[in-house]
């Protein structure tokens, strides 16, 4: 059993804290946000994440998990996980490192000799060695970087059963000590034959940014193919199925549509470009600019398509947007393609109604000017066009026959290529999608 602190209890940290407690450790989670801490202390997840509340409840019933806004409480811990945000800096591509730097300094103040500080936040390569240098002046504090690969909506299973664990550690005895401590923390996971890769700081940091860049590239690749499918009359879903059957390519992350959003892929590829520039290696990842551009074009193209379906003008047309979260099974609306399209449609004169099973509150605080309706059927009433923007199961299962009498005009835009066009057309709907006939 290790006594652990987790600094920053957002999408990453809250799950990490609860998961570490479920592995038998004593955990204190710390955040500056009092509301978040109050909810977590009451075993309530401050955001929608399947399985998190059960984990919080079980660990708190055993007394092995506590939350606080008081950073001094971490002094009881010997391993400290940094899970604070690294958002995009306003008006720039690079990551805002102020939260990581501030959290690291605070931890240093409360850490004692022999403690291990483990970075989990996604950071520009070079951060860990910079912070380790700062720690060098503190007596015997070790630094490791252990990037996180969890997906929102699957965060609990991804944390407890990761594809791999990556440790970035310093050379020599300090590295061995850090590795041993991390092995103790993850003992239960390692016992299940999980691969662990021990490497230097820079490689560990780059593994994370490279992985997210690859995922973003895969999505933009298929979306570029969708543009070509649209130009040539081909079908991008069949194309993805066919190329995905090649094991070397694989079908995952080849779903064309509105593209990627969220608090990670967009900001991570931009931070990667910024950092590569600082290192004089901007050419190496110049292609990411195009990946980003392809991604953003999908949103613009969807606005055009909705306008087309509405007869050339959006003014006064009622458009129902199904989904606000950046992906299903999440209430996260950071850089959500659904909301970005909804906001554009509204700016261009449409009367936009947005619905989502979990993300309405978050969406309203970001885009208060849009109309939100909780009930799907109520949201669809009188619509001149319906846009499926986030593929929640309940939207995928909507019946075109039943909905026909609810909407004003039966026109559906499938922003995630998840509906059966034949079924909707047979029920008398106009069906349109990006890169699909």
Ligand X SMILES: O=C(O)[C@H]1O[C@H](OP(=O)(O)OP(=O)(O)OC[C@H]2O[C@@H](n3ccc(=O)[nH]c3=O)[C@H](O)[C@@H]2O)[C@H](O)[C@@H](O)[C@@H]1O
Interface positions with ligand NAI (CB under 6 A):
7-13, 30-33, 36, 83-86, 99, 102-103, 106, 121-122, 148, 150, 152, 263-264
In the complex with ligand X, the residue whose CB is nearer, 215 or 370, is: 215
Q: Which one of residues 60, 127, 255, 355 is an interface residue with ligand X (CB under 6 A)? A: 255
Take residue 69 and report the two structure tokens written for it: 């806004």
Active site residue 264: yes
Q: Which one of residues 149, 210, 277, 373 is an interface residue with ligand X (CB under 6 A)? A: 149
Residue 36 interacts, among ligand NAI, ligand X, none and using kind-specific CB cut-offs from 5 to 8 Å, with: ligand NAI
Does 212 engage in binding with ligand X (CB under 6 A)? yes
Take residue 131 and report the two structure tokens written for it: 């912070």
Smallest gap from Cβ 419 to ligand X, in A, equals 15
In terms of Cβ atoms closer than 10 Å to its own Cβ (0-12, 13-18, 19+), residue 91 is: exposed
Within 10 angstroms of residue 269's Cβ, the number of other Cβ atoms is 26
Is the Cβ–Cβ distance between 93 and 269 less than 8 Å?
A: no
Cα-Cα-Cα-Cα dihedral of 105, 111, 112, 117, to 10°? -90
Residue 42 interacts, among ligand NAI, ligand X, none and using kind-specific CB cut-offs from 5 to 8 Å, with: none
Q: How far apart are CA 14 and CA 380, in angstroms?
A: 35
Residue 9 interacts, among ligand NAI, ligand X, none and using kind-specific CB cut-offs from 5 to 8 Å, with: ligand NAI
The single residue of 9, 83, 229, 264 carrying the catalytic annotation is 264
Smallest gap from Cβ 123 to ligand NAI, in A, equals 7
Q: How far apart are CA 145 and CA 130, in angstroms?
A: 12
Does 13 engage in binding with ligand X (CB under 6 A)? no
Is the Cβ–Cβ distance between 14 and 39 less than 8 Å?
A: no
Please work out, in degrees rounded to the nearest 5, the angle formed at the alpha carbon of residue 329 by the alpha carbons of 374 and 206: 135
In the complex with ligand NAI, the residue whose CB is nearer, 6 or 224, is: 6
**Measured CA distances, 209 to 172, 353, 373 (Å):** 25, 36, 37
In the complex with ligand NAI, the residue whose CB is nearer, 33 or 157, is: 33
In the complex with ligand X, the residue whose CB is nearer, 152 or 358, is: 152
Take residue 90 and report the two structure tokens written for it: 């306003």
Smallest gap from Cβ 83 to ligand NAI, in A, equals 6
Q: What positions carry a catalytic annotation? A: 264
Binding site for ligand X (CB under 6 A): 122, 148-152, 212, 215, 219, 253-255, 257, 259-262, 264-265, 326-327
């Amino acid at each position: 059993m290790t006594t652990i602190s987790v600094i920053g209890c957002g999408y990453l940290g809250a799950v990490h804290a609860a998961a570490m407690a479920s592995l038998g450790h004593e955990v204190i989670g710390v955040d500056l946000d009092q509301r978040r801490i109050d909810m977590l202390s009451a075993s309530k997840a401050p955001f929608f994440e399947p399985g998190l509340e059960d984990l919080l409840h079980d660990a708190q019933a055993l007394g092995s998990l506590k939350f606080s806004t008081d950073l001094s409480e971490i002094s009881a811990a010997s391993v400290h996980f940094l899970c604070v945000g690294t958002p995009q800096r306003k008006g720039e591509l690079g990551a805002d490192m102020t939260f990581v730097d501030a959290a690291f300094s605070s931890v240093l103040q409360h850490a004692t000799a022999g403690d291990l500080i483990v970075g989990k936040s996604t950071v520009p390569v070079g951060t860990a060695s910079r912070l380790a240098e700062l720690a060098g002046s503190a007596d015997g504090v070790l630094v490791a970087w252990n990037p996180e690969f969890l997906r929102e909506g699957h965060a609990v299973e991804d944390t407890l059963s990761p594809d791999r664990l990556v440790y970035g550690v310093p050379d020599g005895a300090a590295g061995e000590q850090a590795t041993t401590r991390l092995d103790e923390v993850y003992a239960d996971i390692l016992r299940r034959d999980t691969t662990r890769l021990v490497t230097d700081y820079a490689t560990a940091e780059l593994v994370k940014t490279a992985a997210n860049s690859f995922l973003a590239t895969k999505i933009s690749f298929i979306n570029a193919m969708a543009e070509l499918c649209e130009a040539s009359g081909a079908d991008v879903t069949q194309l993805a199925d066919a190329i995905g059957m090649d094991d070397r390519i694989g079908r995952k992350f080849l779903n064309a549509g509105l593209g990627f959003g969220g608090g990670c892929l967009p900001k991570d590829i931009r931070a990667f470009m910024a950092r590569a520039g600082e290192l004089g290696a901007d050419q190496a990842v110049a292609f990411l600019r195009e990946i980003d551009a392809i991604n953003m074009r999908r949103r613009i193209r969807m606005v055009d398509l909705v306008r087309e379906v509405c007869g050339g003008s959006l003014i006064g047309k009622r458009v129902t947007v199904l989904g606000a979260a950046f992906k299903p099974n999440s209430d996260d609306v950071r850089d959500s393609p659904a909301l970005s399209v909804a906001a554009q449609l509204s700016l261009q004169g449409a009367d936009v109604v947005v619905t989502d099973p979990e993300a309405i509150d978050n969406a309203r605080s970001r885009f208060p000017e849009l109309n939100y309706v909780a009930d799907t059927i109520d949201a669809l009433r009188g619509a001149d066009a319906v846009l499926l923007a986030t593929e929640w199961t309940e939207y995928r299962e909507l019946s075109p026959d039943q909905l026909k009498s609810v909407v004003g005009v039966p026109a559906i835009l499938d922003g995630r290529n998840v509906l059966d066009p034949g079924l909707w057309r047979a029920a008398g709907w106009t069906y349109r999608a990006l890169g699909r006939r």
